[in-house]
Chain A
Amino acid sequence: MEKKDEKKIIAEITEQSYKYGFVSKLDSDTIDKGLNEDTIKLISQKKGEPEWMLEKRLNAFKLLKTMKPPNWANLKFDEIDLQNIIYYSAPKKKASLKSLDEADPELLKTLNKLGISIEEQKRLTGVAVDVVIDSVSVSTSFKEKLSELGIIFCSISEAIKKYPELVKKYIGTVVPPKDNFFAALNSAVFSDGSFCFIPKGVKCPMELSTYFRINEAGTGQFERTLIIAEENSFVSYLEGCTAPQRDENQLHAAIVELIALDSAEIKYSTVQNWYPGDKDGKGGVYNFVTKRGIAHKKAKISWTQVETGSSITWKYPSCILKGDDSIGEFFSIAVTNNYQQADTGTKMIHLGNRTKSTIISKGISAGNSNSSYRGLVQINRQAKNSRNFSQCDSLLMGNKCGAHTFPYIKVRNKSSVVEHEATTSKIGEDQLFYCNQRGIGNEESIALIVNGYCKDILQKLPMEFAIEAKKLLEITLEDSVG
């Protein structure tokens, strides 16, 4: 029957440790630390890549050597030593498995611990799951069913070997290596990732889903995802992450490229829950991600993300609205706690006529964390009659956290309309008291208020994912009150 006050609630929120902090003992095939041409050749060789891919990697590495990490974000962290990272780690029992029975039992245990029962998922949700644990795809399901429709869903390594023309044609066209430091790094050393191709006129009948997970201590993970949706096709792709607890920082620099040809639609949803560091801000994943999609005529690209993890998040899923009447959407929830830092947002580049974009961003900051929304809406001269609507809301819990909004708007013609709304609010004592008075304890009340605040975005996620995301939000803010 202790008395509770807001300060105490906030203090206790920050003392929750990471629920998924465990290391699974997978028998790994790891190369030495450090980055040079030999490392890259070794990666390429281990993956059995063709010469052209190695060349691309080496070119990216040359570029990388001339580049510096970006420092414009509202983030504070020590310099990253690229020589102190292991660039390749693969579970030994790799290669093509037809069913889960062939997978490493330790691996299956890990997945079960995370509550990701593949069998369950297959059976209940009809999701084809391509599991990436430490860089190599271990199992791919539903492949046969998808292939009947001409859909390709496999690891990028496999695609490089099996569908070189497709990969060659599109890889690096949306995010070229020179785009930024981390893009160059990824282009040089990417270990694995997913490849997805939806042929003309095909609506992919199920959500395609990949679970990523950093597993080998000290291994940076450099995923590469390439999704191509041909004319009039549709695909919904889910990416979800959880990572085990670590003492040292782990670098994660992924690239995701989406290509939506005329009248195609790609819906890309992410739940990101990398290890955020302990309550003093020690450890945790550095997440520097470049995600971008290009939308051709009447195409639509929709990014939805729920970001609860990582000690540092640097991520701006963007849309290049190249074709006339193309549409870009960005829906985001970013939760920061303890000493987490997030600088995230989007870029909407309007090139075609009558292009439309919508941005809805919800930031939640607790503890000593800092969360920034950074967004660019650029409407070029020739993009006549284009529209953008942006809404950026921030919710603060306690007095030690920060929320910042950096909207950049560039409109170069007079027929286009841009709207921007921003709000900052605090979980008020009066809201908590109101819930308390109805018999709802502090923890439940916070979950209720936060879920309400995020409802618009949660609704954009596919059903099963929305439930998982909601759970994650609750876990992040759970045990917050005594």
Chain B
Amino acid sequence: MLKIKNLHCNINSIPVLKGLNLTINPGEVHAIMGPNGSGKSTLASIIAGNENYEITQGSINFSNNDLLDFSPEERSHLGIFLSFQYPVEIPGVSVSNFIKTAVNEHKKINNSKELTSTELLKLMKSNLKLLDMDPSFLSRSMNDGFSGGEKKRNEIFQLAMLQPKLSILDEIDSGLDIDALRVVAAGVNKLRSDSNSFIIITHYQRLLNYISPDFVHVLNDGKIVKSGDAKLALELEEKGYDGL
């Protein structure tokens, strides 16, 4: 599904990724861990199409498309979803209006019928339940005045609504208390399937107690330096990155 080959990139002429390789198959959950500044969030941004990064070498292939040729919204239409580490606020735009616009843009691109307000509301309500959220949430402004936990739930809520093929969760656990973490993780687990894949970027092994990954990769200095299964995360918890 996703094939990243020898990816190099710069931000403001400073190299951040230095030859990264990663392959993800349908249904797999990959965790990416690594110290601060190792390039984890950069990787997420690049897959989503953030143009502040200059790709100097390498390729990203997604479902037989050369992803680097696609704009951010086209990548979204292809089925890529990024759960942001810091979701932005859009004052005055309600969650329901935002989601409605997003969902219907996807429908338009795929030549399927746009959902009516009633159909959407039904879908929204069932997904809210999944994340233990109150329906009043729908009429609030996007991320405006949201707590850290609410912002993260809102990200997963959108994920549930858009049903992407590849979801990248960038530090979904930061700023979450343990109860919220459980709810969010449970939500993600319900959305897992044989055809959907996830990239989970995190600092802490704790999240992986709730969402068990098929693979764990350690990113350091712009490259994947070690890969393994879920046990690798436990090892990291014990020894730290320096212990590798």
| Chain A interface residues toward B at CB < 8 A | 1-5, 428-431, 433-442, 444, 448-449, 451-456
Contacts and interface: CB of A to CB of B under 8 A. Distances in A.
Contacts of A441: 73, 105
B141 A436 contact: no
Contacts of B37: none
Interface string B27-58: 00000000000000000000011111000000
B98 A448 contact: yes
Contact of A452 (B71, B76, B141, B162): B141
A441 B75 CA distance: 11
A452 B91 contact: yes
Interface residues of B, number: 34
Contact of A438 (B69, B70, B162): B162
A3 B51 CA distance: 8
Contacts of B162: 438-439
Interface stretch (B82-90, B115-123, B181-189, B224-232): B82-90
A391 B71 CA distance: 37
A410 B54 CA distance: 53
A449 B90 contact: yes
Given A431-B88, A434-B84, A439 B77 contact: yes
B244 to A, nearest CB: 32
B158 A438 contact: yes
Contacts of B69: 1
A441 B102 CA distance: 9
B102 A438 contact: yes
B183 to A, nearest CB: 22
Contacts of B51: 3, 5
Nearest to B161: A438
B90 A452 contact: yes
Nearest to B109: A439
Given A428-B88, A438-B162, A3 B105 contact: no
B93 A448 contact: yes
Nearest to B105: A439
Interface of B: 48-52, 69-77, 81-82, 84, 87-88, 90-93, 97-98, 101-102, 105-106, 109, 141-142, 158, 162
Nearest to A432: B72
Contact of A453 (B48, B50, B52, B91): B91
A115 to B, nearest CB: 23
A442 B71 CA distance: 10
Nearest to A441: B73
Contact of B71 (A434, A436, A444, A454): A436
Contact of B92 (A1, A440, A454): A454
B108 to A, nearest CB: 9
A434 B87 contact: yes
A477 to B, nearest CB: 15
Contact of A448 (B52, B88, B90): B90
Nearest to B144: A452
B76 A437 contact: yes
Contacts of A438: 73, 76, 98, 102, 105, 158, 162
A448 B101 contact: yes
Contacts of A1: 69-71, 74
Given A434-B87, A437-B84, 8 more contacts: A1-B70, A436-B76, A437-B49, A438-B158, A439-B106, A440-B102, A452-B90, A455-B93
B11 to A, nearest CB: 14
A481 to B, nearest CB: 10
Nearest to A456: B92
A170 to B, nearest CB: 39
Contacts of A452: 90-93, 141-142
Nearest to B86: A430
A198 to B, nearest CB: 34
A441 B74 CA distance: 9
Contact of B88 (A430, A439, A444): A430
B72 A436 contact: yes
Contact of B90 (A5, A434, A456): A434
Contacts of A3: 51, 71
Nearest to A448: B93
A434 B92 contact: no
Contacts of B74: 1
Contacts of B93: 448-449, 451-452, 455
Contacts of B97: 448
Contacts of A428: 88
B76 A439 contact: yes
